[in-house]
Structure 1
């Protein structure tokens, strides 16, 4: 005896609603893409089986990922136990049924076409304590309703329930669910030809840099290299960025004239320190996590690229590029010109430069996370005093101060037009 009907129970792969545990390493959209690929692999295996009928019990709407030949049923019921029971009831066509989830893309036709003659039920357990399949000759709500779901003992509890009902149960091989980043990596390594495995490999080597930067802000270990693999100390001081402003920061901020715009504000230590001094300030960053951390400190921040329209353009008393943020975008000259547009005519542009006066490295960097993910190349520049002074000329900025403290180096600029007018007066 084999299952006459194969049922796949699944959620529509919508970002933020599926595979949320993958989001410790992947974005919501990437996690949803992995879920969609896993579902496609599962549906392909079911399509290849010898079953006479194929059913998708779906929460959400079907998309282009659904092949022809599947009868789609809407899930119903409150908890997962009730939805499973309802799926068996709604799919029943007088023949035995085998139900599988969307989280074991390594399914094979051989597993699905197993002969379970002499048994009343089939159960396939998963390594995390759940189960990947359940087969019943006919619907039986007693077999499912009330079994605790999504625990590390759901599979064992389900087996106990079936046996208490007097069912003769055939146990299938234990499989690994794709729930966590380590699960996804393991499945991709063991089953490289799967759609989900191919996508996983692409995502591993093409993470958005902002995603890995946000992981660093959350405390994960992230390192930077050049495209040639050489180490770049771009994130070496992330712990300092997350801490309150130190003595060197405060020395730099003592020169600021309000209001202040902090470009690339990170977790907000600079904006917070300025607020403590009573100086109005706004942080700007493209990282949602950086803006969140800044606002949690009670300081204002805006998520926006520096080249987009910003509030108060041409009226800021000071514009800051701390922590090597002169490298943003890999074009220091362009960034300095943008700062000159943002600051008022007599305002200050304060730049932290690399301590190596002669450094002028416009090469992109790549971020690497402990979990194995690496980013696509991030346009960046590492520049010392000489290169920044050269770029400042094209931005009509005149250096007014150059100082060092605590192993860090800074330059202060004012508009060259404003400086000439001041000297003339």
Structure 2
């Protein structure tokens, strides 16, 4: 005896609603894409198995990932146990049914086309304590309702419930499901032909730079390299960024005139140090994690790209580009011109430059995480004094100070007087 009906129970693969545990390594959109690929692999294996009926019990809307031949039923019930029970009831057509989830893309026709022989039920356990398949001759709510779901003993509890009801259970091979980034990596390595595996391989080499930067802020080891693979010093120095402002930072901040705008504030050490001095300051960063860390320190921060409208445009007493943030966007001239727009007419633009005066490197950088992911190229610039002075002149900023310590270098600028700017255009 074999199953008459194959059921797949699944959620619509929408970003933020599926595979949230993958989001420690992947963006919500990437996690949803992996879920979509896993579901497509599962549906293909099911469709390749000869049975009378194919049923998809779906939470959400179907999409182009659904192959032909499936009857779609809406999931019903409160909680997963009830939804499973309802799926069996909705799919029942008088013959045995085998239900699988969307998290084991490695399933095959051989695993699904199983002969139940003299058994009353089929159960396939997973390595994390759950189960990937459940087969019943007919619907039986007693077999499911009340079984604790999504625990590390759900599979054992389900097996115990079936046996308590007097069912003779055929156990299928144990599989690994895809819940965590480690699960995804293992499955991709073991089953490289899957859609999920091919997508995983592409994502490994095209991570969002912002995601890897946020991993660094959360404590993961992330390094930056040029596109040639050579490590870029001074980037991703998260330990220094998260520490209190040091002596060099304080020396730079002693030159600031409030209010101060810190562009690329990171975890907020500079904005915090300014607040401790009683100087009004705001940090801006595109990283949600950076803004959260800054506000957790009690300092104000705003998540926004510097190119978008910002509070107080043209009225800031000082605008800061610390920690090599002159490199943001890979176009120092444009960034300095933006700083000139933000600062008031008599305000200060303070820029930390590379200690190598002659450096002028606008090649993109790539971030690498310990887990093996690397980012797509990130526009960035590493520039020393000579290049910054040249770009500042084009932005109508006049250098007023050039100072350095053994390992760090700074330039201070003021906006050129209107008369001088007008003369330069004649």
Partner of 2:55, secondary structure, is: strand
* Structure 1 segment 42-191 matched on structure 2, within 5 A: 42-191=42-191
Offset at 1:406? 5.6
| Aligned counterparts of 1:307 and 1:149: Cα–Cα separation in 2 | 47
1:248, 1:406 within 8 Å by CA — same for their partners in 2? Answer: no
Stretch deviating more after TM superposition (165-174 or 371-380): 165-174
- Look up the match of 2:424: none
Deviation at 1:418, TM superposition (A): 6.5
SS at match of 1:232: coil
Name the SS of the counterpart of 1:138 in structure 2.
Answer: coil
Cα distance in 2 for partners of 1:391, 1:92 equals 72
Contact in 1 for aligned 2:206/2:375 (Cα 8 Å): yes
- Structure 1's unaligned 5+ residue stretches are none
User: 1:222, 1:235 within 8 Å by CA — same for their partners in 2?
Assistant: no
Shift in Å, 1:226: 0.6
User: RMSD of the alignment, in Å?
Assistant: 1.4
Could you say which residue in structure 1 is the equivalent of 2:18? 18
CA distance in 2, matches of 1:236, 1:157: 46
**Do the aligned partners of 1:397 and 1:413 also contact (CA within 8 Å) in 2?**
yes
The residue number in structure 1 matching 2:317 is 317
The DSSP-based 3-state class of the residue aligned with 1:323 is coil
2:192 equivalent in structure 1: 192
Count of aligned pairs between the two proteins: 421
User: 1:31–1:275: structure 2 CA closer, same or farther, 3 Å change rule?
Assistant: same
Separation in 1, partners of 2:18, 2:266: 29
In structure 2, the gaps of 5 or more residues are 422-426
Q: Which residue of structure 2 lines up, in the alignment, with residue 308 of structure 1?
A: 308
2: CA distance, partners of 1:393 / 1:235: 26
Could you tell me whether the CA contact under 8 Å between 2:330 and 2:364 is conserved in 1?
yes
Indicate if the aligned counterparts of 1:346 and 1:418 stay in contact, CA closer than 8 A.
Answer: no
- The CA deviation at 1:331 is 1.2
Helix, strand or coil at the partner of 2:417: helix
Residues 47-68 of structure 1, C-alpha deviations (whole Å, 9 max, x = no match)? 1111111111111222222222
TM norm structure 2? 0.96
Question: C-alpha distance in 2, partners of 1:85/1:336?
Answer: 63
Assess if the C-alpha contact under 8 Å between 2:216 and 2:236 holds in 1: no
| Counterpart contact for 2:127–2:174, Cα < 8 Å | yes
Partner residue of 1:252? 252
SS at match of 1:231: coil
Q: Distance in 2 between matches of 1:368 and 1:394?
A: 34
Distance 1:334 1:293 in 2: 28
